């Protein structure tokens, strides 16, 4: 068994912390998101694997493919692989989620924003 103390081992104090599974022999990678800033969230992107969002508190507007929906505390959203998606915090309460990537490394294709690949 391996214990990772994010308060000590993770990136300090920001809105997002992440754990890439390959480094600890896990078959998944995880992003922990916490923000009360309305509109904050990632740009549109996709992965070649599913991403599962476990929402602990707050609300965010999710865009998944051609659909929009409000995800809120107590819900679990599963985005299939290769599906463009993003979310934006609605507020005013803090949005807190655990985002599970079904891969031991992060593989992201950015479709908008400064990281986007222009083809």
Residue 6's pLDDT band (cuts 50, 70, 90): low
pLDDT tens digit string along 58-114? 999 999 999 999 999 999 999 999 999 999 999 899 999 999 999 999 999 999 988
Which pLDDT tens digit goes with each residue over 13-38?
455 688 898 988 899 999 999 999 99
CATH number, domain 15-110, options 3.40.50.360, 2.60.120.10, 3.30.9.10, 3.90.1150.10: 2.60.120.10
- What global pTM score does this model have? 0.87
What is the pLDDT at residue 115? 77
CA angle 28, 34, 35 (to 5 degrees): 145
Mean pLDDT calculated for residue range 43-49: 97
| Sequence spans of domains, the chain | 15-110
Q: What is the DSSP string of 35-79?
A: E-STT-SPPSEE-SS-EEEEEEESEEEEEETTEEEEEETT-EEEE
Task: For residue 92, say if its preceding peptide bond is cis, omega within 30 degrees of 0.
Answer: yes
pLDDT band at residue 7 using 50, 70 and 90 as cut-offs: low
């Amino acid at each position: 068994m391996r214990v990772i103390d994010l308060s000590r081992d993770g990136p300090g104090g920001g809105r997002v912390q992440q754990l890439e599974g390959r480094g600890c022999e896990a078959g998944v990678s995880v992003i922990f998101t916490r923000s009360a800033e309305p509109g904050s969230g990632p740009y549109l992107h996709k992965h070649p694997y599913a991403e599962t969002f476990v929402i602990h508190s707050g609300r965010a507007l999710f865009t998944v493919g051609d659909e929009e929906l409000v995800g809120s505390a107590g819900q679990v959203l599963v985005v299939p692989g290769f599906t463009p998606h993003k979310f934006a915090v609605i507020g005013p309460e803090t949005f807190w989620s655990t985002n599970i990537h079904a891969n031991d490394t992060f593989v992201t294709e950015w479709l908008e924003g400064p990281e986007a690949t222009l083809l």
